[in-house]
Amino acid sequence: MSPNPAKSPENCIYVGGSWRPAHATARLDVINPATELLIGQVVDADAVDVDTAVRAARDALKSTAWEHTTAQDRARMLHALASELTARASVMARTITCENGSPIAETSGAAPHAADFLRYTATLADSLDADVRRFPAGGATTSVRRVPAGVAALIAPWNFPLTLVMAKLAPALLAGCTVVVKPAPETPFHLAVLVEAIEAAHLPPGVVNVVTGGAGTGQLLVAHPNVDKIAFTGSTEAGRAIARECGALLRPVTLELGGKSAAVVLHDADLDVFAAQLIRSCLRNTGQTCYAATRILAPRSSYSDVLDIVIETVRSAPLGDPFDPTTVFGPLVSARQRDRVEKYIRLGTAEGARITTGGNRPSHLDIGYYVEPTVFADVDRGMRIAREEIFGPVLTVLAYSDEDEAISIANDSHYGLGGVVFSADDHRAAHFSQRLETGSVGINFFGSNQAAPFGGWKQSGLGVELGPEGLSAYVKYQSLHRRTSPVEEMEPYLSDQGPAS
Ligand code: NAD
């Protein structure tokens, strides 16, 4: 995969601005999910490697090349990185598709999307300047300073690997943090492309460090005494373990976790719009998308019409080689993920739901971790296939009688990440959307906006990414009070009315 194994995660960790031989001797296999062939192996970083990377990040935090930069200087670096990433869009797309099987039509957008996010984040630079606030009673002012949170550990999953690193990296860099990135073990090699772009953009050495490995490497990073902030995207189960550790350490943490979103088709929905948006909203990336609305709620009166559209749309979407630009459904990321999806398909049948299409491995593909897109009808809200995150191409279609029941079913979930409402009446859809207990809702489409917060309610997460709100997770505040009146004139305020602390 990599042209030079001596300069890649096959044998090295990226610390202090160069690939250096890892201490760990253990390696993890990286498999192409479409061919089942070994792409290569990567370092399963150990405690020494993690410590080396964190130390490099800590040193860089205090280096003159970084500590004395202004947010505006760092914004210029984000622009430079955006250009370098854009120049590598094609190799980035091919690398990600090779690693995780995402269709090339999807991964072709990865670097441009990341570049757009870098450029957007750069526009927030001025918001990091200190602002001055008067004491309400007069006599003094306070400068509110935004100080980098410190060394941030960025832990990412495999499904949109670059996007989910960038949602953390761009605000961390703008805020003045230095970072250690840990990609998922399934998708380590695309970070070598990112590292190339970082070097070409002349980011100071040690500002971005990379260690590869599995959950154990992630745990070492989370618990490392010199890490100041954790940003994690992944499963709710791992998020809960990380939250426990961060709770014990009182370490700030952002968690973007699992989901089981609903797509609610209201009585007046334009079914052509629903059909056109179905794959992107409900099965994007072969269903391996956190916000995918895999519970489709249809009015009882038009249940069979909605179901027919779902079946027809899913059946007609091309499945196969992820390098074919027309492919919509690729393989699942791993044999383990395929096992999980197949387990849920068997479970759905055992629970009494009816498979209307799919349910098997495609007969024309005997290599690759493929599963046919599967649509379950006659699904009850209590079934596990309607409650648990499957993370594959499996849809459940549920019936509701009126909007109150639709709200009750949609909100009857431990998760609260996304959701889509289909209606011809924007006002009605907006009113309905406001009753959904989720961090994001789309009307007649779903897409995340880089300028707006994205995050989960309930067990879908803690805190948000993107937008100015996402940037604020990478700063600490310091309030610097200065007298503007002689101290005796302030005395009554300071002694009697000052805020209690
Ligand atoms: P995962 O939780 O198994 O792993 C995610 C990352 O965390 C990997 O890098 C992994 O090595 C590491 N990790 C695992 N356990 C850890 C621990 N205890 N401590 C530290 N690091 C640990 O998830 P996955 O299978 O890679 O990704 C799929 C999951 O991610 C799904 O649940 C999906 O919904 C979720 N996800 C959420 C969002 C979001 O924005 N909310 C986006 C994408 C994916």
Measured distance CA(84)–CA(64) in Å, rounded? 24
Which of 230, 260, 248, 268 has the alpha carbon at shortest distance from 463?
230
**pLDDT number for residue 497:** 52
Catalytic site residues? 256, 290
Q: Rounded distance, CA 330 to CA 97, Å?
A: 9
Tell me if 389 CB under 6 Å of ligand 1: yes
Nearest alpha carbon, ligand 1 atom 32? 235
- Ranges of residues in the chain whose predicted pLDDT is under 50: 1-3
CB 10 within 8 A of CB 213: no
What is the pLDDT at residue 3?
47
| Ligand 1 atom with the shortest distance to the CA of 337 | 25
List 477's β-bridge partners, or say none: 146
Distance 233 CA to ligand 1 centre (A): 5
What CA–CA distance (Å, rounded) separates 399 from 378? 8
Query: One-letter amino acid identity for 489?
Result: E
Verify whether ligand 1 is closer than 6 Å to residue 416 (CB atom). no
Q: Cα separations (Å) of 241 from 72, 223, 462?
A: 37, 11, 13
- At 501 the pLDDT is 53
- Among residues 451, 449, 450, 473, the alpha carbon closest in space to that of 461 is found at 473
Cα distances from 314 to residues 97, 152, 308, 373, in angstroms, run: 21, 41, 10, 7
- Which atom of ligand 1 has the smallest separation from the CA of 454? 40
Q: Per-residue pLDDT tens for 466-480? A: 999 999 999 999 999
190: left (phi over 0), alpha (psi -120 to 50) or beta: alpha
Residue nearest to atom 39 of ligand 1 (CA): 256
Cβ atoms of 465 and 256 within 8 Å: the answer is: yes
Taking CA atoms only, the protein residue closest to ligand 1 atom 19 is: 219
CA distance 27 to 390: 28
478 phi and psi, to 5 degrees?
-130, 125
pLDDT score for 253: 98
Q: Which numbered atom of ligand 1 lies nearest the CA of 460?
A: 41
Distance in Å, CA 123 to ligand 1 centroid: 29
Is the CB–ligand 1 distance for residue 337 below 6 Å? no
Ligand 1 pocket: which of 290, 337, 454 to mutate (most atoms <8 Å of CB)? 290
User: For ligand 1, atom 20, which residue shows the shortest CA distance?
Assistant: 218
Phi and psi, residue 135, nearest 5° = -65, 135
Question: Is residue 259 within 6 Å of ligand 1 at its C-beta?
Answer: yes
What's the token pair of residue 463?
């805190």
The pLDDT value given to residue 2: 46
If you count DSSP H runs as helices and E runs as strands, how many of each does the chain have, helices first?
18, 22
Token pair recorded at residue 140: 């003094």
pLDDT at 346: 98
Instruction: Give the pair of three-digit tokens for residue 458.
Output: 């309930």
- Residue 5 has a pLDDT of 59
User: Which residues have a Cβ under 8 Å from the Cβ of 32 and sit 6 or more positions away?
Assistant: 38, 39, 98, 99, 101
Q: How far away, in angstroms, is 110 Cα from ligand 1 center?
A: 19
Tokens 């995918």, located at residue:
292
Closest CA to 395 of 362, 373, 414: 373
Nearest partner of 466 among 442, 484, 447, judged by Cα: 447
Q: Among 395, 387, 378, which Cα is nearest to 311's?
A: 395
Cα–Cα distance, 462 to 234 (Å, whole number): 12
For residue 501, what are its two tokens?
Answer: 């602390």
User: In ligand 1, which atom is closest to the CA atom of 256?
Assistant: 41
pLDDT of residue 491: 66
Nearest alpha carbon to residue 218 among 183, 253, 167: 183
Residue 449 three-state SS: coil
Question: How many A from CA of 192 to the centre of ligand 1?
Answer: 20
Given this model, what pLDDT does residue 1 score? 47
